[in-house]
Amino acid sequence: MSEKFKVLYYVNQFFGQVGGEDKAGMPPEYRPQKVGPAMGFEGALRGEGEVVGTIICGDNYFNEHQKESLDFIKKTVKEASPDVVVAGPAFNAGRYGMACGELAKAMAEELALPVVTGMYAENPGVDVCKNKAIVVGTSDSAAGMRKALPAMAAITVKLAKGIELGAPEKEGYIARGMRKTLFEEKRGSLRAVSMLLARLKGEEFETELPMPVFDQVEPAPAIRDLSKATVALCTSGGIVPQGNPDGIQSASAQKWGKYDVSGLDGLPAPGFYSTHGGYDTAYANENPNRVAPLDLLKEFAKEGVIGKVFDWFFTTTGTGTSVSNAQKFGKEIGAILKEAGVDGVILTST
């Protein structure tokens, strides 16, 4: 390794200063300069390393042409011969996070290179690569860039120098799900009793085995009379009108769609199809009602089993979609349904 270690940096089209959604379909390209956050990142290295170039790729292109994108990136990495690859930070941007995650995984598995990226804990890209690369925890938006870059740089310096990283909570990266043997002054039983006593006294303590936190959602009251109820149809199975007019992403959805089905007795093919990237859509495309059963709901309405089917159908894709986006979609769609007086919702997946 030279006096300064070398970093190759990856960004999407937005942070690569190429453009926004209008440039999300751009294929990867290499620039032998520091672009966007790569400039601030190199400054945070404090002279110990240098960014030798930047790879820029559109979010849509990477996720829709993953093999081609990774082939280009691997070829560029081999030519540039960096000591560390850095991607992002992607914050809570799902498509960007998935690109950073897949890139990090490929660099670590196929090229045996240390990789550092940065993401919000709920970004779907975290689970793709956290056991292969170092994912620095960031805020959910680019407002946290000034904190993210120094944290990523500090870890990059250690990796480049072969310095072993400390615990996730100390270094600032997301836990990788790995267990490590440590020596403690007190045996486990004494530590457990100490924690119990601290809890009983209302004192602060830190558990050695943090448990996951799950949402507790109170179920809504049952519909008293289905024969008078208005029922809406929603799906996370990616069923969209032909041409996908709203550009709903095939994975890591950033949006949802709302379509008028008041004049339909079902979802016809090829008028509707699935844009979902997480399952084999052949049968859904053959008959979209297999995923979003509008035909059955319309039959129930004609038979008087339910009062009527709501005029609008709601759809998005669930694969890789972050929890925060899913919650956001639910609140937005729910507000529309509530205001319209809808009594119940059939929500289907894949």
Domain edges within the chain: 5-171, 183-213, 226-348
- CA dist., res. 35 & res. 317, Å (int): 32
- CA dist., res. 62 & res. 314, Å (int): 27
Is the pTM here over 0.85, yes or no? no
* 10-residue stretch averages of pLDDT, the chain, 350 residues long: 85 94 93 95 94 95 93 96 95 90 94 95 88 93 93 96 89 83 85 94 86 81 95 97 94 91 96 91 95 97 97 92 84 96 94
Q: What is the pLDDT of residue 231?
A: 97
Determine the Cα angle at 324 with ends 322 and 329, to 5°. Answer: 95
Q: What is the pLDDT of residue 105?
A: 94
β strands within the chain, DSSP E: 5-12, 29-31, 49-57, 84-91, 115-119, 134-137, 230-235, 239-241, 257-260, 272-274, 308-315, 344-348
For residue 284 the two structure tokens come to 């859904």
Q: What is the pLDDT of residue 345?
A: 97
CATH code: domain 5-171 is 3.40.50.280
Q: What is the pLDDT of residue 1?
A: 45
